[in-house]
Amino acid sequence: MQNDSNVNVVQQRSADLFTPLERGLGGSEHIERESMTAWQHVRHRLVSNKLAMTGLVLMILIILMAIFAPVLSPYDHYSNDLPNANQPPSWSHWFGTDDLGRDMFVRTWKGAQVSLFVGIVAALIDLVIGVVYGGIMGYYGGKVDEVMNRIAEILYALPYLLVVILLLVVMEPSLTTIIVAMSITGWINMAWIVRGQIMQLKNQEYALASRALGAGNMRILFRHLIPNAIGPILVTLTLTVPNAIFTEAFLSFLGLGVQSPVASWGTMLNDGINAIQVYPWRELFPAFFLSLTMFAFNVFGDGLRDAFDPIMRKS
Amino acid sequence: MVRFILQKFAFMILSLFILVTATFVLMNAVPGSPLQREKATSPQIQKNLEAYYGLDKPLIQQYVVYLNNLLHFDLGISMKKRFYSVNKIIEDSFKYSLRLGIVSVITSVVGGCVLGIIAALYHRRFLDNLAMVLAVIGLAIPSMVMAPVLQYLFAVKVRWFEVAGLEGPLDYVLPTIALSSVSIAFIARLIRSTMIEVLHADFIRTAKAKGLAGHLVVWRHCMRNSMLPVVTYLGYLVAGVITGSVIIEAIFAIPGMGKLFVQSVIDRDYPLIMGITVFYAVLLMVCRFLADIAYALVDPRLRIHKSKVGN
């Protein structure tokens, strides 16, 4: 009896406290903001990432300078000018001159050309081989995947720089050799990324729909699946570039890469290091711009990854 | 588990075999005899030299002899430093590289962990931002830039350290920093991201709820879980230290293996190049193999997954 009366009291009270809501849609259909496509989301996240944007601006500036600075400058990167050797930075030579009187400003940007060229070409080669190999691995699966994956695993276990240096012993040291050597094991990372993506995507409805409409394997793979894996591919591509730039500078520094008079940041660093006590600018300018370029690509790549992967962004 | 280890081991041996064979083929694909010099030698001396290095035999036989010697840890005889065995040369130089390598691996792990933990604990606060800015900069500055800049600042401008050499303990400071800055940055970022994830996990909340002191939560519960990715990274850390040592030893004039390797490539001293390549490769692959096993031992999920699917 006691309980019953309690319930009654509660019911009376609640009737006083609450007012019934009008029936209707209320705010449920109200559109707070415009809907965004996946790409708009990515762009939004990327643009709001200040560090990544800094990287992008730096990348563009470096690329522009590498293209135009050597053309617009009155000097070239190979002519000796011995009376003006080892000049400190001044109005006529912004970054000073090296031991042969060559203008460091032009040489620094010529070096940027070499680095960017190696980085971009190596990344593109990795892209082509990696996407095809990884796509086939992921799409066909089973025995094909097993065998191809084993091959990649064995190649991946080979120490990258040893392979590169070994090849350079046999082939003439040149830009082509460096790029070929880097591509031997460089594509594997990309292949694995693409493989993982394709494995996830290949059972999606649109792949099935495309198959039902009579599309062949290659068409499904390259027209439908790969374009949907573009995010991780782009991220890997961006992060390959600084690695390739590092490798080129590393080899040139050791005298195994690009040969003089072609300017490369690696060779310039190696030239400058003997003179660092007396003519520090010969070392510091290429050092600074090499680091800046790697910084820009790394930061932009990180930003791109965060933009494509909203889960990562939270942390 | 046993199957997983055996499989990894088999692949390691296979990779090693491929590398050794590739090295042999490449070294023999170079046009001209490696014994040819600028100074002409009489045909008889040339013949004797070829016989001494076993170059007069057919290629297949040379290959078999080479493999057989490798199995007995005999790397042959240097061509430039006459009558010195490659084993002896490697032995002499490796001690410098080993010491520097161990010091910088320890520095990388300790430095990276400390920086990463600080960043994670002060997530989105000043210390976190500072640590991450340092890490991003550290990642961007390659060793061939870091080393000369350190040298210039601390050995030329402020004379705290010697410019070159590796005699006293103080001489280790600059090469170690230059060698480990990139891996410190990498490990710091790795630790930070996993640690932040772990800090939000339920078992950490439980540990806090039962009244465990802050540092105990970090040490006993977070650390063990955040260390996982670092274990996998260790194999690559060794690779990075070897790569870096090539540069660092050249800059700081340390008579280690990295310097020797570059010199052998420039001299085209084929037995020495092959010897060092094989030595480095074994070192690297064994380290990666151990890292794989360590990872499987620490992470039970991987153990089950690996033994079932073999993927």
Q: What average pLDDT score do residues A122-138 get? A: 94
Nearest CA in chain A to B285: A157
Query: How is residue A1 written in tokens?
Result: 């009896």
Contact A154, A211 (CB under 8 A): no
Q: Is the pLDDT of residue A60 over 60?
A: yes
Q: Is the pLDDT of residue A115 over 60?
A: yes
Q: What is the DSSP letter of B123?
A: T
Per-residue pLDDT, A133: 95
SS3 string, chain B, reads: CHHHHHHHHHHHHHHHHHHHHHHHHHHHHCCCCCCCCCCCCCHHHHHHHHHHCCCCCCHHHHHHHHHHHHHCCCCCECCCCCCCEHHHHHHHHHHHHHHHHHHHHHHHHHHHHHHHHHHHHCCCCHHHHHHHHHHHHHHHCCHHHHHHHHHHHHHHHCCCCCCCCCCCHHHHHHHHHHHHHHHHHHHHHHHHHHHHHHHCCHHHHHHHHCCCCHHHHHHHHHHHHHCHHHHHHHHHHHHHHHHHHHHHHHHCCCCCHHHHHHHHHHHCCHHHHHHHHHHHHHHHHHHHHHHHHHHHHHCHHHHHHHHHHCC
Per-residue pLDDT, B286: 86
Non-local CB neighbours of A271 within 8 Å, separated by 6+ positions: A98, A99, A282
Distance separating alpha carbons of residues A144 and B2, to the nearest angstrom: 25
The residues in B 98-157 lying below 8 A from A, measured between CB atoms, are 136-137, 139-142, 144-145, 148-149, 151-152, 156
pLDDT band, very low/low/confident/very high, at B75 (cuts 50, 70, 90): confident
Which of A146, A169, A172, A271 to mutate to test binding with chain B, by most B CBs within 10 Å of its CB?
A169
pLDDT band, very low/low/confident/very high, at B121 (cuts 50, 70, 90): confident
Contacts of A169 in chain B (CB under 8 A): 26-27, 30, 265, 268, 273
Contacts of B145 in chain A (CB under 8 A): 269, 287, 290-291
Determine the distance in angstroms separating the CA of A197 from the nearest CA of chain B, rounded to an integer: 16
Distance separating alpha carbons of residues B131 and B129, to the nearest angstrom: 5
Non-local CB neighbours of B191 within 8 Å, separated by 6+ positions: B112, B113, B115, B116, B117, B119, B120, B226, B227, B229, B230
Q: Which of B139, B145, B156 sits opposite A290 (nearest CB)?
A: B145
Q: Which of B136, B140, B265 sits opposite A169 (nearest CB)?
A: B265
- Please state whether the peptide bond connecting residue A261 to the residue before it is cis, i.e. omega within 30 degrees of 0: yes
Q: Does B268 touch chain A (CB under 8 A)?
A: yes
Distance separating alpha carbons of residues B293 and B299, to the nearest angstrom: 10
Q: Is the pLDDT of residue A312 over 50?
A: no
DSSP codes joined into one string, B26-52: HHHHSSS-TT--SS---HHHHHHHHHH
Q: What average pLDDT score do residues B164-180 get? A: 84
pLDDT in tens, B131-140: 888 888 888 8
pLDDT band, very low/low/confident/very high, at A118 (cuts 50, 70, 90): very high
Per-residue pLDDT, A176: 87
Q: B142 and A246 in contact by Cβ < 8 A?
A: yes
Helix (H, G, I), strand (E, B) or coil at B249: helix
Q: What average pLDDT score do residues A212-233 get? A: 88
pLDDT band, very low/low/confident/very high, at B306 (cuts 50, 70, 90): very low
pLDDT in tens, B270-303: 888 888 888 888 888 888 888 888 877 776 665 5
Q: What average pLDDT score do residues A262-285 get? A: 84
Q: B145 and A256 in contact by Cβ < 8 A?
A: no
Q: What is the DSSP letter of B84?
A: -
pLDDT band, very low/low/confident/very high, at A128 (cuts 50, 70, 90): very high
Nearest CA in chain B to A286: B145
Report percent pLDDT > 90 for chain A.
23
pLDDT band, very low/low/confident/very high, at B310 (cuts 50, 70, 90): very low
Q: Which residue has the higher pLDDT, B52 or A209?
A: A209
Non-local CB neighbours of A252 within 8 Å, separated by 6+ positions: A258, A264, A265, A266, A267, A270
Q: Is the pLDDT of residue A102 over 80?
A: yes
Per-residue pLDDT, B301: 62
Residue whose tokens read 């032995």: B91
Instruction: Output the CA angle A233-A237-A242, nearest 5 degrees.
Output: 155
Q: Is the dihedral of CA A174, A176, A181, A182 positive or negative?
A: positive
Per-residue pLDDT, A123: 93
Of B144, B172, B177, which is closest to residue B247 (Cα–Cα)?
Answer: B144
pLDDT band, very low/low/confident/very high, at A311 (cuts 50, 70, 90): low
Q: Which residue has the higher pLDDT, B306 or A153?
A: A153
Mean pLDDT of the residues in chain A? 84
Query: How is residue B9 written in tokens?
Result: 């081991």
Query: How is residue B56 written in tokens?
Result: 């007069």
C-alpha distances out from residue A72 to A60, A68, A75, A86, Å: 18, 6, 9, 22
Residue whose tokens read 């990894």: B8
Side chain identity, residue A153: E
Query: How is residue B296 written in tokens?
Result: 């499987």
Distance separating alpha carbons of residues B302 and B294, to the nearest angstrom: 11
pLDDT in tens, B85-96: 888 888 888 888
Query: How is residue A113 written in tokens?
Result: 């050309």
CA atoms within 13 A on the CB side of A252: 31
Instruction: Output the CA angle B161-B280-A166, nearest 5 degrees.
Output: 105
Query: How is residue B99 written in tokens?
Result: 């010491």
Q: Is the pLDDT of residue B57 over 60?
A: yes
Per-residue pLDDT, B240: 81
Q: Is the pLDDT of residue B267 over 90?
A: no
Q: What average pLDDT score do residues A254-272 get? A: 84
Q: What average pLDDT score do residues B215-220 get? A: 80
C-alpha distances out from residue B52 to A212, B29, B79, Å: 70, 20, 10
Q: A58-72, B168-182, B295-309: which has the minimum mean pLDDT?
A: B295-309
Query: How is residue A159 written in tokens?
Result: 């120490």
CA atoms within 13 A on the CB side of A118: 32
* Cβ contacts from A onto B, under 8 A: 118
Which residues are bridge partners to A238 per DSSP? none
pLDDT band, very low/low/confident/very high, at A70 (cuts 50, 70, 90): confident
Nearest CA in chain B to A141: B311
pLDDT band, very low/low/confident/very high, at B199 (cuts 50, 70, 90): confident
Per-residue pLDDT, A26: 66
Helix (H, G, I), strand (E, B) or coil at A97: strand
Per-residue pLDDT, A313: 44
Contacts of A254 in chain B (CB under 8 A): 246-247, 250, 262, 265
Which of B26, B144, B232 to mutate to test binding with chain A, by most A CBs within 10 Å of its CB?
B144
Q: Does B25 touch chain A (CB under 8 A)?
A: no
Distance separating alpha carbons of residues B137 and B63, to the nearest angstrom: 47
Per-residue pLDDT, B307: 44
Mean pLDDT of the residues in chain B? 81
Q: A3-7, A76-80, A134-138, B141-145: which has the minimum mean pLDDT?
A: A3-7
Nearest CA in chain A to B192: A315
pLDDT band, very low/low/confident/very high, at A5 (cuts 50, 70, 90): low
